[in-house]
């Protein structure tokens, strides 16, 4: 029983979601988000356990996880910084923001900083193009990013 890898809280929360829908697979993203809320990321073992709980094939659920880019399939830092790399931000230095973040943290994209605090990832348009370049720092939207703002985000 793979689902034993999930905590009682995770199973309870996922079952609560399942109770709202006739088809268990309808809660696939929510179930993955629940696991991620508890563990920060979704390991292969957890993905298989969730698939079992939802009567889905692991490959099917993996497809959902891959399509939804806010499900992390490898360990991430306590705060994930998503910098926008869509066209407006890109034209106004979005990639430079990503480079600065990675350089200051000494990580590549998707890697966790040595202190376990941060992971940097690109993301598509955050809908704040008039304030480009922008990033989500955890749950907080940061606008009009400059090098100073990047330093401030990282507490430097
Ligand atoms: S292009 Fe970056 S917020 Fe729209």
Structure tokens at 40: 């920060």
Ligand 1 pocket, residues with Cβ under 6 angstroms: 84, 86-89, 125-129, 132, 134
Indicate whether 103 pLDDT > 80: yes
The CATH fold assigned to 2-67 is Arc Repressor Mutant, subunit A (1.10.10)
Q: Give the model confidence (pLDDT) of 27-61 as tens digits.
A: 999 999 999 999 999 999 999 999 999 999 999 99
Please give the distance, rounded to the nearest whole angstrom, from the Cα atom of residue 72 to the centre of ligand 1. Answer: 22
Token reading at 118: 């941060």
What percentage of residues in the chain have a pLDDT greater than 70? 98
pTM assigned to the model:
0.87
Right CATH number for 79-153 from 3.40.50.880, 3.40.30.10, 3.30.450.20, 3.60.20.10?
A: 3.40.30.10
Mutate to test the pocket of ligand 1, among 91, 132, 142, 143 (most ligand atoms within 8 A of CB): 132
Nearest to 23 by CA among 1, 54, 47: 54
DSSP characters for 97-155?
Answer: HHHHHHHHHT--TTPBPTTS-EEEEEES--S-GGG-S-EEETTEEE-S--HHHHHHHTT
Q: Using the mean position of ligand 1's atoms as its centre, give its distance from the Cα of residue 67 in Å.
A: 20
Average pLDDT for 129-148 = 96
Residues of the chain with CATH 1.10.10: 2-67
pLDDT value, residue 69: 81
Please tell me the predicted confidence (pLDDT) of residue 62: 96
Domain with CATH 3.40.30.10 in the chain: 79-153
């Amino acid at each position: 029983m793979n689902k034993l890898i999930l905590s009682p809280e995770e199973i309870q929360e996922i079952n609560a979601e399942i109770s709202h829908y006739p088809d268990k697979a309808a809660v696939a993203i929510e179930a993955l988000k629940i696991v991620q809320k508890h563990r920060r990321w979704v390991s292969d073992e957890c993905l298989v356990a969730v698939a079992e709980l939802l009567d889905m094939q692991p490959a099917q659920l993996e497809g959902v996880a891959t399509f939804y880019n806010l499900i992390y399939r490898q360990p991430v830092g306590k705060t994930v910084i998503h910098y926008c790399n869509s066209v407006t931000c890109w034209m106004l230095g979005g990639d430079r923001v990503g480079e600065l973040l990675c350089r200051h943290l000494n990580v590549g994209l998707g890697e966790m900083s040595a202190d376990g605090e941060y992971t940097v990832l690109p993301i598509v348009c955050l809908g704040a193009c008039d304030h480009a370049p922008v990033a989500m720092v955890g749950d907080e939207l940061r606008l009009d990013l400059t090098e100073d703002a990047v330093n401030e985000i990282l507490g430097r």
